[in-house]
Structure 1
């Protein structure tokens, strides 16, 4: 089941991802230095849309950023909306 697939973090590749039957959903970011993280892309394959995967990726990335003391720049429009709807 896709909802049970864990969110993984590839720190070297600078992305959070969920591998599921139907493809890989991911959230990509850049470490801009000075404790700043730019989340610039969220992608969910058509076959996996509507299952809340983008929200899970955003939540995990923002949790990580908070734990690491990062300021987040939400260049990705999805993450920008997610942050407005889920203020920390």
Structure 2
């Protein structure tokens, strides 16, 4: 499934349009060099299609490209990082 993900810095989220509802990965910025991924949401009609993983990957790639460390408050993000060791280096110590 091809997904177009947009990053909205003002509202601190990555979104993918799913028709009536958007899928989203929300984050907070406790400091200028840290992104805390706090919440992942995918509409029920779009679940099971890898949308959350694409959102998370987009968020983590953005963090890496911008030299930011990551906090995985959202359990879905934590699970994704646990399964994808190449992103573990981004975790804040």
TM over 0.5: same fold? yes
Match of 2:18 in 1: 20
Q: Which digits, 9 at most, give the CA deviation of each residue in 1:2-59, with x for residues without a partner?
A: x223011001110001002252100000111141110000001111101100000000
**How many residues are aligned here?**
86
Provide the TM-score with structure 2 as the length reference: 0.87
Structure 1, 13-22 or 47-56: larger mean CA deviation: 13-22
TM-score (norm 1): 0.92
Which residues in structure 2 correspond to 1:64-75 (within 5 Å)?
Answer: 64-75=62-73
Equivalent residue for 2:91? none
> Can you give the 5+ residue segments of structure 2 that lack an aligned partner in the other structure?
87-93
The 4+ residue runs of structure 1 with deviation greater than 4 A are none
Corresponding residue to 2:61 among 60, 63, 68: 63
Cα distance in 2, alignment partners of residues 24 and 34 from structure 1:
27
RMSD over equivalenced CA pairs, Å: 1.0
